[in-house]
A and B are shown apart, each in its own frame.
Chain A
Amino acid sequence: MGAAVTFDISIIALHSHALLLATWRTMLLFVATAAITTPLALAVALARQTGGRLLCALAATYVTVFRLIPVLVVLYFSFYGLPSLGVSLAPLPAALVGLVIASTAYMGEDLRGGLIAVPPGQWQAARALGLSYRQTVQRIIIPQAIPRMLPPYMSRLIVIVKSTAVAGIVSVDELTGASYDLISSTYHATEFLAASACLYLGINGVLALVQVLLERRFH
C-alpha cells in the first residue's frame, strides 16, 4: 500500500494535439449550443410569463417534459432512435439537437426566475405609456431582469459545458470521449483524467471570469 501513484506528464505532451483538438470540439459544441439555446430559452420564459393561455401551457409542458427526461435519453433518441423514423442525423447535429432541446428547458426556467423579479407594475406602466411588447421587453424588462438572471444564467452555461460530455455517446470526439479513448489505448488513466479536468476548468474558468466582470458591470 501507499506506493506512489505514477504520474507521467510527458504522455500528456505526447498526445496534446488530440487533447487540444477535442477541447476545441467541446468549445465549438458549447458555443453553438449556448448561441441557439439563449434566444429560445428567453422565448420560452417570456411565453410562460406573458403569453396567452395556450402559449403558456405549451411552454410549461415543454419545460416540464424535458426537465423530466435525462439529456442522455434525448441524445440517444436523436441519434439511435430517429433513423427508424426515417431521419438520420450525423453525430454532430444529433448532439446539438439533443443538447439544445434539453438546455432550453432548463435555461427557460432560469431566465423566468429573473423575469418574475421584475415587479408586474413595470409591464403595466410600459404598456400604458404606449410601448409595444417588443419595446417593453427590450428596454424595460430585460435591463431590469439582467442582474437577477445573470448568476443562474452563467451557472447554466457552465452546466452546458459539462453536459457536452454526453455527446461522446453519439460518436462526437469531444473532450471526455477523447480522454477515455486515450486512457484505453495508453492506460495512463490518472494523467488524462487530470488533463481533462484542467481543460474543463480552463473553459469554465473563463466563464466564471466573465460572470464576475458582467456582475460588476450590472450592479
Chain B
Amino acid sequence: MIKTLKYILLGFYFGFVLIKSEAVSWYRIVEMFHFQSFHLFGVIGSAVVTGIVSIFLIKRLYLTTLDDEVVDLTPKPIRFKANFFGGILFGLGWSLVGACTAPLFIHFGAGSYIIVVAIAAAILGTFVYGTIKHKLPH
C-alpha cells in the first residue's frame, strides 16, 4: 500500500516538474526542433548534468538505498544498430506527435483526450516491434 502510494507520488512529482519545464508543451517541442529557442536544450542539458553529478556523488559517497542495498548502476547494453535506428524512429515520432512518452500521459490527464489516439498507436507500435523484433538489425 505504502509502496503503491510512493510510486504514484514519485510519478506525480516527475510529471509536475516536467510540466513546469514546458517539455510537455507541443509548441515547445516544435520550437526546439526548429532551433528557435534555447529553452528545452537548457532543460535537458541541466537535467542531464544534475543526473551525472548525482550518480557521481552516489558512487563517491557510497550512498546506499533506503533498504541499505548497493545502488544498481548497470547501464543498458549497447546494441549500436538498435539504439541508433530505434532512436531515429523514436525521434521521428516525437517530432510528429510533438510529445514523447511522459507528455502523452500528461496530455491525457490534462483533458486533451484525443491523445489516446497517439497512445493507442504507441501500444500498437510496441506490439509490432515485439512481433517482428527478430527480423530487425540489432
A, B bound: no
Hey, which bits of chain B sit against chain A, CB under 8 A? none
